[in-house]
């Protein structure tokens, strides 16, 4: 029999999880405090920007009902997934206020419910966070965890822009379990939703929590190392970070992923998770030199790009600059911690006149940049009259550009290619072309 699941929080991860469960035949109740989100989902309209989610929601709308009523959700499902924000505090730790609020509501409605109910915390927390949720559930329900209800910590390892792929074909499934029965129930669900038979690691809460944040911290360290390699390549004749990264990546001890060398990492997870590792280490008396150094290297990257432009083109005051790409990566509308945004801010401080264009992130960028830039309605309009174009986010739309697009629209065509999309093309011959990670 298919289990009935509730998903608490219908944001950029929660809603994709809900529609994926529905596509696999589960009956799904989605819970969100925002009635606009609830109404949109019930109408079959997708309130988040994430490839493939809108199509799945329309196709499997009959399997999902959205509500703001926890009682309905708990009473009509067997498993509740908590996918709510855990915002960063000023010291870098994660706030549990939304997790605990969800836990209290679930707990209150477990009081009068018959049968075993499994609660799964998906939101990223620091070690000790799931234990705090357990205490909230027990105190609000009057029941015992591991006996009357189960609790698991099971964070996802996904990237915005490819969430559905990350959910259906993960490298691993991680489960921190209160008891073997709970871990097995959750494993059964993942076996039905994952399409690649991934390894399932089952352990206690603490190992799972620490493993999640350390994995992300390691990836950020690898990205910062690759960005340092890119800067070194710029200083040697014929230097090419793609060649150097391939050399490194072919060694099985390293691997090729996250060695591109380009702009700083950003988004809602990597920067804060790396800072959180440093904070947790400090709290338990461990020196956290690696995550601290990684953070410092990452902060330096956007300023480095502005300085690179100054060294190649001279002063920036009055320079007309077109920036293509504002989101922290392609395939999403998220500009949080985006290196592109930080570069734009640096250009403005230097007196440049900046036009910007992004296929998905314009509205979110306006909330950050305000009236300090010109928001172009199209790629071509963004280029008009510019003396420099910065290709900052490697959207597919930008990969189709030809030298003529720049020559036709720009007044003095120069291109900074942050991801070396055109390094082996005629761009070098027809434009003033330079790139991150390439030597002169």
Question: Known catalytic residues?
Answer: 269
DSSP 85-97: --PBPTTSPBP-H
3-state percent helix, strand, coil for the chain, nearest multiple of 5: 45, 15, 40
Token pair 């994926």 in the structure block, residue: 20
Q: 331: how many CB neighbours lie within 10 A of its CB?
A: 19
Residue 24, helix vs strand vs coil: coil
Could you give the CA distance from residue 410 to residue 406 in angstroms, rounded to a whole number? 5
For 114, the token pair is 């018959």
First vs last Cα of the chain: how many Å apart? 64
CB 306 within 8 A of CB 264: no
CB 213 within 8 A of CB 280: yes
Residue 354, helix vs strand vs coil: strand
Strand order in the sheet with 79-82: 64-67, 27-31, 4-8, 79-82, 117-121, 149-153, 173-177, 200-203
* Backbone φ and ψ of 379, nearest 5°: -60, -45
- Give the E-state strand segments of 55-127 in sequence order: 64-67, 79-82, 117-121
Pseudo-torsion of CA 232, 235, 237, 243, nearest 10°? 20
Could you give the CA distance from residue 119 to residue 372 in angstroms, rounded to a whole number? 46
């Amino acid at each position: 029999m298919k289990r009935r699941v509730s998903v608490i929080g219908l944001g950029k991860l929660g809603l994709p999880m809900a529609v994926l469960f529905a596509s696999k035949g589960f009956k799904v109740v989605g819970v969100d405090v925002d009635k606009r989100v609830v109404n949109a989902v019930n109408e079959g309209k997708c309130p988040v920007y994430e490839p493939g989610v809108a199509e799945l929601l329309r196709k499997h709308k009959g399997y999902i009902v959205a509500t703001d009523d926890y009682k309905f959700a708990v009473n009509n499902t067997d498993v509740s997934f908590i996918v709510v924000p855990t915002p960063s505090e000023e010291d870098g730790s994660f706030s549990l206020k939304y997790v605990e609020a969800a836990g209290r509501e679930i707990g209150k409605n477990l009081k009068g419910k018959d049968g075993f109910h499994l609660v799964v915390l998906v939101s990223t927390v620091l070690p000790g966070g799931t234990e705090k949720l357990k205490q909230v559930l027990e105190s609000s329900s009057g029941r015992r965890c591991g006996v009357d209800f189960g609790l698991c910590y099971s964070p996802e390892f996904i990237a915005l822009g490819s969430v559905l792929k990350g959910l259906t074909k993960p490298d691993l499934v991680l489960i921190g379990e209160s008891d073997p029965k709970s871990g097995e129930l959750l494993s059964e669900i993942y076996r039905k939703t994952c399409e690649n038979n991934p390894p399932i690691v089952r352990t206690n809460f603490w190992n799972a929590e620490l493993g999640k944040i350390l994995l992300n911290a390691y990836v950020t360290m690898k990205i910062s190392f690759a960005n340092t390699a890119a800067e070194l390549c710029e200083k040697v004749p014929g230097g090419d970070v793609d060649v150097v990264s391939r050399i490194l990546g072919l060694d099985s001890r390293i691997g090729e992923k996250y060695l591109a060398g380009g702009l700083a990492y950003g988004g809602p997870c990597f920067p804060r998770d790396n800072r959180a590792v440093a904070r947790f280490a400090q709290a338990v008396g461990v020196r956290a030199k690696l995550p601290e150094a990684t953070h410092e290297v990452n902060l330096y990257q956007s300023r480095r790009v502005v300085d690179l432009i100054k060294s190649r083109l001279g002063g920036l005051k009055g320079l007309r600059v077109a920036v293509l790409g504002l989101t922290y990566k392609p395939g999403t509308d998220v500009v949080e911690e985006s290196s592109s945004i930080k570069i734009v801010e640096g250009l403005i401080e230097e007196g440049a006149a900046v036009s910007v264009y992004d296929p998905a992130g314009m509205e979110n960028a306006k909330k950050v940049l305000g009236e300090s830039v010109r928001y172009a309605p199209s790629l071509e309009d963004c280029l008009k009259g510019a003396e420099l174009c910065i290709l900052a986010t490697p959207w597919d739309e930008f990969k189709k550009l030809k030298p003529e697009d720049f020559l036709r629209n720009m007044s003095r065509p120069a291109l900074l290619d942050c991801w070396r999309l055109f390094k082996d093309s005629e761009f070098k011959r027809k434009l003033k072309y330079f790139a991150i990670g390439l030597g002169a």
